[in-house]
Amino acid sequence: MTLNFNIREIATAGMVLFAVIDILGSLPIIIGLRKKVGHIQSEKASIVAAFIMVAFLFLGDELLKLIGIDVNSFAVAGAFVIFFLAIEMILGITLYRDEEPETASIVPIAFPLIAGAGTLTTLLAMRAEYHVENIIVAIVINIIFVFVVLKSSARLERRLGKNGVNIIRKIFGVILLAIAVKLFAANINALFNH
């Protein structure tokens, strides 16, 4: 088996994943979670998110087929989740309430914040365009960056201040809304043209 490492593919896949994961845009959510639960398990969240992404890269298509869902339906569902997250960020409201966990790591940070529907859908789409090994390198690079952001979220909050965090939250909320609309528009036609 030959490995087809390509710097351009790694860079492109890495940038696409960086935009979709949007860990900087999730900073206000992470800071809010840390205030609620007191501690974020950065290592655990990063490792679990990486595992989910790599597993979905290899098994995602088969898994969706097994439960009778096509990629387009999955993408539209992901668009709705991203849409509601964006509405929460822009309007400063809470639509989703869950039992408050002791610590925040796997849920909701690893899934769905880092390895959410948008990220998993993107991985499936990239698999058709890039070599798997380049996508895996791109995932690893992004996970390292995610880990650094999670680890230094308290420091970043102090630097930005409350107003800075709120401004970032609203700006990234609008970006997230645009990603949701694009994801929805790109996949809704395919659903009706089956």
Contact predicate 91/83, CB 8 Å: no
**Interatomic CA distance for residues 182 and 193, integer angstroms:** 18
Q: Which amino acid is at 140?
A: V
Residue 102: per-residue pLDDT: 59
Phi, psi at 60, each rounded to 5°: -55, -50
**Model confidence pLDDT, tens digit, residues 92-111:** 887 765 555 556 778 778 88
Peptide bond before residue 28 is cis, with ω within 30 degrees of 0: no
The three-state secondary structure class of 104 is strand
Q: What is the mean pLDDT of residues 33-51?
A: 89
**Model confidence pLDDT, tens digit, residues 177-190:** 887 788 788 788 87
Residue 106: which of 40, 54, 48 has the closest Cα? 48
Structure tokens at 116: 């959410």
Q: Pick the residue with more confidence: 135 or 86?
A: 135
- Number of neighbours of residue 129 by Cβ within 10 angstroms: 12
Residue 57: per-residue pLDDT: 92
- Percent of the chain beyond pLDDT 70? 94
Q: Please, which pLDDT band fits residue 171 given cuts at 50, 70 and 90?
A: confident
**Helix (H), strand (E) counts: the chain:** 7, 0
The three-state secondary structure class of 40 is strand
Residue 8: per-residue pLDDT: 95
